[in-house]
Amino acid sequence: MRALTLQGKSFRISDLPDPSPAAGQFLVQPLFNGICGSDLSLRKQMAELADATPPEAQHQLPIIVPGHEFSAKIVGIAPGTETELKIGDRVTGLPFTHSHDGPACIGLSPFHSGGLATLSCIDAERTFRVPDGIPDDLAALTEPFSVGLHAVNLASRNDGPNMVIGCGPVGLAVILALKIAGRGPILAADFSAERRAVAASLGADIVFDPASDSPYERWSDLGHEPAQMSPLLARDFRGQPHGQNIFECTGAPGVMGQIIQSAPAHAHIIVVGVCPHEEKITPLEGITRELTLEFSFAYRPEEFSTALHLIEAHADQAARLITSRQPLASTEAAFDALAKDPHEIKILIAPHA
Task: Quote the pLDDT of residue 233.
Answer: 60
Task: Quote the pLDDT of residue 304.
Answer: 96
Which residues 6+ apart lie within 8 Å of 151 measured at CB?
A: 170, 174, 177, 247, 270, 272, 296
What are the boundaries of each domain within the chain?
2-141+321-350, 144-295
Top CATH class, 2-141+321-350: alpha beta
According to DSSP H, which parts of the chain are helical?
Answer: 37-51, 136-139, 142-154, 169-180, 193-202, 255-262, 283-287, 301-313, 315-319, 331-340
Fold of 144-295: Rossmann fold (3.40.50)
Per residue in 63-102, pLDDT tens?
999 999 999 999 999 999 999 999 999 999 999 997 777 7
Which residues 6+ apart lie within 8 Å of 206 measured at CB?
A: 185, 186, 187, 188, 218, 221
307 closest CA partner among 138, 73, 62 = 138
Task: Quote the pLDDT of residue 29.
Answer: 98
Contact 75, 124 (CB under 8 A): no
The pLDDT of residue 231 is above 70? no
SS3 content of the chain, % helix, strand, coil (to 5): 35, 25, 40
Higher-pLDDT residue of 281 and 130 is 130
Interstrand relation of 25-34 and 102-105 (parallel, antiparallel or unpaired): unpaired
What pLDDT band is residue 237 in, cutting at 50, 70 and 90?
Answer: very low
Interstrand relation of 25-34 and 346-350 (parallel, antiparallel or unpaired): antiparallel
DSSP assignments along 111-123, one per residue: TB--SSBS-EEEE
d(CA 194, CA 207): 11
State the chain's maximal CA–CA distance in angstroms: 70
Mean pLDDT computed over 322-332:
97
Task: Quote the pLDDT of residue 234.
Answer: 59
Task: Quote the pLDDT of residue 235.
Answer: 56
d(CA 274, CA 256): 11
The pLDDT of residue 326 is above 70? yes
The pLDDT of residue 319 is above 70? yes
Count of helices and strands (H, E) across the chain: 10, 17
Reported residue count of the chain is 353
Backbone angles phi, psi at 215, to 5 degrees: -55, -35
314 closest CA partner among 306, 324, 326 = 306
Percent of the chain topping pLDDT 90: 77
Mean pLDDT computed over 250-269:
90
Three-state secondary structure call for residue 311: helix
d(CA 71, CA 142): 9
Q: Which residues of 129-147 are buried (b: 16+ CB within 10 A; e: fewer)?
A: bbeeebbbbbbbbbbbbbb
323 closest CA partner among 342, 341, 345 = 345
What pLDDT band is residue 159 in, cutting at 50, 70 and 90?
Answer: confident
Contact 173, 321 (CB under 8 A): yes
Higher-pLDDT residue of 308 and 102 is 308
Task: Quote the pLDDT of residue 238.
Answer: 46
31 closest CA partner among 105, 143, 139 = 139
d(CA 258, CA 328): 39
The pLDDT of residue 188 is above 50? yes
Task: Quote the pLDDT of residue 147.
Answer: 97
Mean pLDDT of the chain: 91
Q: Distance between alpha carbon 293 and the CA centroid of its chain, in Å?
A: 19
d(CA 65, CA 106): 9
35 closest CA partner among 299, 330, 232 = 330
What pLDDT band is residue 143 in, cutting at 50, 70 and 90?
Answer: very high
**Domain 2-141+321-350 matches domain 144-295 at the CATH topology level:** no
Per residue in 6-40, pLDDT tens?
999 999 999 999 999 999 999 999 999 999 989 99
The pLDDT of residue 133 is above 80? yes
d(CA 169, CA 140): 12
